[in-house]
Every structure is written in C-alpha cells, then in structure tokens.
Amino acid sequence: MNKITMMMSVSLDGYFEGPEAALDWHLVDEEVHQEFNDVLRPMAMYLEGRVVYELMEEFWPTADQDPDSGPEMVEYAGIYRGMPKVVYSRTMAEASLGPNSTLVRDVVPAEVEALKAGASGDLSVGGADLAATFFRLGLIDEVRLYVHPVVLGAGRRLFPDDLRLDLTLVESRRFGNGVVLLRYDCR
C-alpha cells in the first residue's frame, strides 16, 4: 500500500524556518542531501503547497546547470524535474505552473486517497500549512523529521499548537554533521 510521507527539516526547538523565513541554518551536506535523494527518488508524486512549490521552482529545474552544484544537487535536479507535482493553492494561476504540475484548489480527502491508491509509489507532502491540513484530515502515514542541531528561538513552528499526533518511532539515524533523522509511523 502506498503511503503519504511528510519530510521536513526542523531546528531542535521545533521550527521549520527561522525569523523572516530564514533557512540558512539547514545543515545539508553531501550525506544528508544523498539521504533526501534516496528517499525522494522512488516517490511517485510530490504534493506541495504554493509556497514550497514556488521556492522549489525558483531553483531546482536548472540547479544542475550551475557549475558549483555538487553531484547530489545535480542528481536531485533531475529527480525534481521528472517528478509529477500536485500543487494545492487557492490563489495561484494555473498558467504559472511548470511542467509535470497540476493545480488543485482544495484538499479533498477522497481525491487524495485516490491519488495515493493509483500512484506507482509513495507520495511526499511538502509545506507546513499543507501538512497541517493533511494531518488534521488523517492523510499522512509517515513523518520524517531531520532535526538540525541548532536552537533558533523564533520563527515558524512545524506543528500548530492545536494539533495532537500520536506517533510511533520506527527509525532514528545520526548523520556525520549532527543532523538526526526521526522517522515516525502515523497509523
């Protein structure tokens, strides 16, 4: 059975972005980036909120053309370009979508379950707001948190204050740079 996975980098104090949407605290070295590639390569589809989609589209479609891109970045650029994407947005114009992208206005559980059932593999959900909606609707099967050894003290927390989740830890792994993967089952 296919599953829907949320992958997110977070600070030790639970923020997915720092003040003013800062992401400069992410410790994504070759080892961590290869982990991301290995997890995302077999995915069948990305389910993304507008903000994540726009951030990814700004960089990844041509990242492999930058001579400073390492092999992990070159590999991921190819993964990203080839991956079908469903973009959830009520404000985005369909004409602003890139290749392999479909615009959906609302999260309808039956439609998400149909995507999941008909996919050739697992699906990845990206974006904290979209993930919160998916969590509230019981649509996420797995959480992969990449905890970075930094305390930000401010920013945007990954999990809303009113969201309760009972999770089961199924894997933990420490990377050489101090990032720790915590993988949880949501079912």
Nearest-CA neighbor of 134 among 172, 100, 181, 86?
86
Helices first, then strands: H and E counts in the chain: 5, 10
Question: How far apart are the C-alpha atoms of 6 and 47, rounded to whole Å?
Answer: 10
CB atoms within 10 A of CB 137: 13
User: What does each of the 187 residues of the chain score in pLDDT, given as a tens digit?
Assistant: 899 999 999 999 999 999 998 999 999 999 999 999 999 999 999 999 999 999 999 999 999 999 999 999 999 999 999 999 999 999 998 878 888 999 999 999 999 999 999 999 999 999 999 999 999 999 999 999 999 999 999 999 999 989 999 999 999 999 999 999 999 999 7
Query: What DSSP designation does 66 have?
Result: S
Number of domains in the chain: 1
Instruction: List the domain range (segments joined by +) for residue 166.
Output: 4-185
Instruction: Report the relative pairing of strands 4-11 and 101-104 from DSSP bridges.
Output: unpaired
For 8, the enclosing helix (H) or strand (E) is: strand 4-11
* CATH number of the domain encompassing residue 178: 3.40.430.10
Q: What is the pTM of this model?
A: 0.94
Edge-first strand order for the sheet with 45-49 is 101-104, 85-88, 45-49, 123-126, 4-11, 142-148, 180-185, 168-174
């830890």: which residue's tokens? 169
